[in-house]
Chains A and B, each alone.
Chain A
């Protein structure tokens, strides 16, 4: 290659590097800055916010909002308990059913596996809509204001069954076949051979399920009006919409709330409290999500 061509090539590479660093850092900042603003707003003085609005750096630093949350933690702890319960049960049971279903759909010797696969798949194409689903759960199953309404309708998700099936398809059929010849039953093969072999897949799908339950506010919007059953995200939703009511409930007073009591900063502190655990866990769980998407992209 001539020296001129070499030089030109290095110039192109340099140009690409400049574009790349500038664009990527800009995009990364756009993704991160909103979180910084939320955090700094939550540490701002209420009066300063009312005077100057939210700012990137607190004009007057204050921990009042968090102090109020820690002083009257009952409602928030209650909603944490609801969210943790729903997430734990929903993820554990959901993951088990998802894996078991996916395994059956993977078994090539199962005569009706394509029929069942279509049975599941069809529901992603067509549905009865919101109204009949809502009436079924509220009027016929009588699940309004129960924990069950937050867990059972979203227990199995066809999309994750299909993802899990793509994972399990990578386990050689010979394993199930030889265990069968040795006299093991299907359920035992699944429990003692397939599950241990699919730990990475279980971690990935399990974390997707857990994230879905943790961030779920929609079920509560439809089915929960009882304060004791409010999940965290729905509690935040309520506070954003009805600050005064939520402050009164928090303070346990029916009367007028002092103007200087945390409000605008409380909303932001509550936002931090609602997504805090996810942000803490993020560095550790991120790779499992990447793994899940990577399998999806390669397998199609």
Chain B
């Protein structure tokens, strides 16, 4: 024991510079990621400002009970998961398709031009996207309603009609990340050994067969990794998107409320720290279990593909 402790201190001295170099990041992560984990206790308390995190009285699982009994838990969990599944499926299909077409079609400048156009939406904030959405959908001045009225048709009240919103959100999410994914898949396509194409050509494959039999299967590793990450994050809503597109428009919450917006509203609008924290803990635990499960399953199937 003393021997081991001795080695430990000797190592500290030996690695003192490296430890010193890594310490700012270690301390920042400690403060802003690990310390808040202790604050999970708020979920089990009746939080009041006077008592603070540790002085407030315990109330056991009451916050969770309210969260689940109100039906909110099911609604926001379902919305979060369904939106993420939609984003994942539509996003990847379009990204793969546009990457393959970019690779197959046109000269260098055409490829560059298209890639620049597709990648552009990635660079703006969700606030700007919110402004674009307002420009399109506003009841009084929106572009869509300008077009409709110019054809003598009735205006549509998009901001008060929940049923449009799943499609709108699906559109804008796909729109914003199309270029990002295309660039990633294009890199994977470029890395494919050209000999495989030549072999397919000699075997008499036409371009479509070559794409389906050579390109697509070779994208599988990239696709699987992106899927794993997406499935692991299936209970994390994209707060920036939902908040800037929908805001505090209660008319739309049935179709658009996700766990993250729900947690935020409880915290900032109603100041219900206990229940907000309970919903947050529920999300964290759910996400953690999901990631571990997915990773465990992948490990069993193919060790190299696992995340950790």
Residues of chain A at the chain B interface (Cβ within 8 Å):
1, 5, 8-9, 12-13, 16-17, 19-21, 23-25, 27-32, 34-35, 37-38, 41, 49-50, 52-56, 97-98, 100-101, 103-105, 107, 110-112, 116, 119-121, 123, 125-136, 139, 152-153, 155-156, 158, 161, 185-187, 190, 211, 214-218, 221-222, 233-234, 236-237, 240-241, 264, 267-268, 271, 274-275, 278-279, 282-283, 286, 289-290, 293-294, 296-298, 300
A55:B143 contact, CB within 8 angstroms: yes
A297:B188 contact, CB within 8 angstroms: yes
Top-5 shortest CB links A-B: A132-B39, A129-B280, A20-B105, A53-B146, A128-B36
The answer, yes or no, to whether B194 is at the interface (CB within 8 Å) is no
- The residue from A55, A101, A130, A214 contacting B146, defined by CB atoms under 8 A apart: A55
Given contacts A27-B178, A132-B277, A275-B124, contact A16 B105 (CB under 8 A): yes
B277:A129 contact, CB within 8 angstroms: yes
Choose, from B65-73, B76-84, B85-93, B111-119, the stretch at the interface: B111-119
Residues of the B chain whose Cβ atoms lie less than 8 Å from the Cβ of A156: 24-25, 28-29
Residues of the B chain whose Cβ atoms lie less than 8 Å from the Cβ of A139: 52
A136:B101 contact, CB within 8 angstroms: no
Residues of the B chain whose Cβ atoms lie less than 8 Å from the Cβ of A132: 35-40, 42, 53, 277
The answer, yes or no, to whether B264 is at the interface (CB within 8 Å) is yes
- In the complex, residue of chain B having the shortest beta-carbon distance to the beta carbon of A161: B25
A265 to chain B, nearest CB (A): 10
| Known interface pairs A27-B178, A55-B143; 7 further A-B residue pairs with C-beta atoms within 8 A, sorted by A's residue number | A27-B94, A103-B21, A110-B18, A131-B267, A152-B28, A233-B127, A237-B130
Residues of the B chain whose Cβ atoms lie less than 8 Å from the Cβ of A267: 131, 134
Residues of the A chain whose Cβ atoms lie less than 8 Å from the Cβ of B175: 30-31
B39:A128 contact, CB within 8 angstroms: yes
B17:A187 contact, CB within 8 angstroms: yes
A293:B184 contact, CB within 8 angstroms: yes
- Chain B residues 266-294 with CB under 8 Å of chain A are 267-268, 273, 276-277, 280-281, 283-284, 287-288, 291-292
B118:A28 contact, CB within 8 angstroms: yes
A128:B25 contact, CB within 8 angstroms: no
- In the complex, residue of chain B having the shortest beta-carbon distance to the beta carbon of A9: B206
- In the complex, residue of chain B having the shortest beta-carbon distance to the beta carbon of A218: B240
Given contacts A100-B21, A275-B125, A286-B116, contact A133 B36 (CB under 8 A): yes
Q: How far is the CA of A125 from the CA of B287 in the complex (A)?
A: 8
Given contacts A123-B33, A130-B264, A293-B183, contact A278 B277 (CB under 8 A): no
Residues of the A chain whose Cβ atoms lie less than 8 Å from the Cβ of B164: none
- In the complex, residue of chain B having the shortest beta-carbon distance to the beta carbon of A136: B36
Residues of the A chain whose Cβ atoms lie less than 8 Å from the Cβ of B240: 217-218
B250 to chain A, nearest CB (A): 15
B132:A28 contact, CB within 8 angstroms: no
- In the complex, residue of chain A having the shortest beta-carbon distance to the beta carbon of B25: A101
Q: How far is the CA of A297 from the CA of B33 in the complex (A)?
A: 28
In the complex, how many residue pairs between chain A and chain B have their CB atoms under 8 Å apart? 285
Q: How far is the CA of A279 from the CA of B280 in the complex (A)?
A: 36
B277 to chain A, nearest CB (A): 4
User: Which range holds the interface residue count of chain B?
Assistant: 35 or more
Residues of the A chain whose Cβ atoms lie less than 8 Å from the Cβ of B124: 215, 275, 278
The answer, yes or no, to whether B246 is at the interface (CB within 8 Å) is no
- Chain B residues 189-247 with CB under 8 Å of chain A are 191, 204, 206-208, 221-222, 225, 239-240, 243-244, 247
B22:A104 contact, CB within 8 angstroms: yes
- In the complex, residue of chain A having the shortest beta-carbon distance to the beta carbon of B283: A129
B109 to chain A, nearest CB (A): 13
The answer, yes or no, to whether B168 is at the interface (CB within 8 Å) is no
A53:B11 contact, CB within 8 angstroms: no
Q: How far is the CA of A245 from the CA of B142 in the complex (A)?
A: 21
B117:A31 contact, CB within 8 angstroms: yes
Q: Which one of B25, B35, B185, B244 has the greatest number of beta carbons of chain A within 10 Å? A: B25
A278:B123 contact, CB within 8 angstroms: yes
B114:A28 contact, CB within 8 angstroms: yes
Given contacts A38-B132, A54-B146, contact A211 B123 (CB under 8 A): yes
Given contacts A21-B105, A111-B11, A286-B116, contact A136 B39 (CB under 8 A): yes
Q: How far is the CA of A21 from the CA of B206 in the complex (A)?
A: 19
A31:B120 contact, CB within 8 angstroms: yes
Q: How far is the CA of A91 from the CA of B191 in the complex (A)?
A: 31
B42:A131 contact, CB within 8 angstroms: yes
A16 to chain B, nearest CB (A): 5
Given contacts A21-B105, A297-B185, contact A130 B130 (CB under 8 A): no
- The residue from B21, B98, B146, B208 contacting A27, defined by CB atoms under 8 A apart: B98
The answer, yes or no, to whether B165 is at the interface (CB within 8 Å) is no
Given contacts A119-B26, A131-B267, contact A264 B141 (CB under 8 A): yes
Q: Can you list 24 pairs linking A and B with CB atoms under 8 Å apart?
A: A16-B207, A27-B94, A28-B114, A31-B117, A32-B117, A34-B121, A34-B136, A97-B28, A98-B25, A123-B34, A128-B38, A128-B281, A129-B284, A130-B263, A130-B276, A132-B37, A133-B32, A156-B29, A190-B21, A233-B125, A241-B247, A264-B141, A279-B123, A293-B187
B184:A24 contact, CB within 8 angstroms: no
- In the complex, residue of chain A having the shortest beta-carbon distance to the beta carbon of B188: A297
B275 to chain A, nearest CB (A): 10
